Amino acid sequence: QVCAQLCRRPCYCPWVPPHCPRGSPLVLDGCGCCKICARRLGEPCDFLHICDQSQGLICDYSAAGTGATCNFEDGEEGCEVNGQVYRDGEVFQPSCKLQCRCLDGGFTCVPLCQEDVR
């Protein structure tokens, strides 16, 4: 019933799809009508404005009174670095000179090049 109230048929979408920020793919809105930018970790969401499911995010309504935000499905902490979402414990390389690990919502990095250690 909520879907029927929010979704109009036929769909009315802008002619040009939105230009999404880096790391946010174009997806269909909650009505399955128009292309929108998927919401990222920590961003507000609702039935129409959906989270980036390719990053394992869901619209989390558990925070009372603050509205829903995109969070990991299993409640894990995660990190967003340069528009890319990493799960807690995941190791990644944001550049050829650094190796990082996501931990408890933050990240730590170590240099991979000898000259950077000095």
- Specify the CATH number for the domain of residue 104: 2.10.70
Evaluate whether residue 20 is within a structural domain.
Answer: no
> What does the pLDDT look like over 31-58, one tens digit per residue?
999 999 999 988 999 989 999 988 888 8
Q: Contact 43/69 with Cβ under 8 angstroms?
A: yes
User: What is the DSSP secondary structure assignment for residue 116, as one 8-state letter?
Assistant: H
| pLDDT band at residue 3 under the 50/70/90 scheme | very low
Q: Quick one: 35 and 61 in the same domain?
A: yes
Band of residue 19 on the pLDDT scale cut at 50, 70, 90: very high
| One domain for residues 31 and 56 | yes
Total tally of structural domains belonging to the chain: 2
**Predicted confidence (pLDDT) per residue in 71-115, tens digit:** 887 656 678 777 777 877 788 888 888 888 887 777 888 888 876
Cα gap 104→46, rounded to integer Å:
25
Residue 65 has pLDDT above 60, yes or no: yes
Residue 63 lies in domain:
26-72
Residue pointed to by tokens 């009508």? 33
Instruction: Point out which residues pair with 81 in neighbouring strands.
Output: 84
pLDDT of 74? 67
What is the SS3 assignment for 53? helix
